[in-house]
Amino acid sequence: MKTQNIYPDWAEKYREPGKTIRKSGSGYALIRCTSTYVPGENPKSSQEYLGRITEKDGFIPKVPRVSKNNPHKDSDGKDAERLEYGLSRFLKKNFGRGVQRGLYAASADLVSLVIITYIFGSCSRENLMKSSLTADRADDLDDYRGKISEKRIATGVKKLTQLIDDALPDTALRRNIESSLLMITISRTGKTKPKIPEELQTLIADEGLKV
């Protein structure tokens, strides 16, 4: 017996394994549903809004929100296909090994997840796609994330924060360096590495850190 669709055919055709549909305003929302198994705990489910479905336009992918402080903008203010570059490279170069040791010989992939979580607040696939450190391997890292407990990632972030605080105890200086590095981006399709301003290079070197 054929199951009757809950919503109109023009919306239901976007439903597939791992994705569901919900009524939203004059249209419908397409949601990705995932479940992560954590040993000794109940499976943890998460949902990600993918976009809108309307009868006239079909599926309309969501547009990433860009804050005033987000570096992913062109000089004319339009959304740009740019990736975070400066801060993630700096963190990996200076504190990557410290995080690995703190997590008992953690893999390089776990260190990348920790860095992305530190910068963006989580290591969701959407955030993995924002950084040049992880964008090329976002799918693989997202799969790997499902095999790692959130507690282990959180422990790594705590360790990274401690290492940064120890290296840059002056809060104002630390924020200045981090915000300046966060503004250094690279085109998603570009091959030329961005140049770090000389003043910032000097500021970092004076603290005994690698640029």
Q: Which two tokens stand for residue 127?
A: 């955030």
Claim: this prediction has a pTM higher than 0.75: no
d(CA 185, CA 202): 19
Closest CA to 207 of 163, 142, 157: 163
Q: Which two tokens stand for residue 191?
A: 């091959």
Q: What are phi and psi of 151, to 5 degrees?
A: -65, -40
d(CA 3, CA 5): 6
Q: List, in sequence order, every beta strand (DSSP E) within 70-165.
A: 82-84
- Write down the domain spans for the chain: 9-61, 82-205
The shares of helix, strand and coil residues in the chain, as percent rounded to the nearest 5, are 40, 20, 40
pLDDT for the residue 31: 85
Closest CA to 150 of 47, 44, 48: 44
pLDDT for the residue 5: 63
d(CA 20, CA 34): 11
pLDDT for the residue 4: 56
The amino acid at 34: T
Q: In the block, which residue shows the tokens 């402080």? A: 69
Low-confidence ranges of the chain (pLDDT < 50): 1-3, 65-80
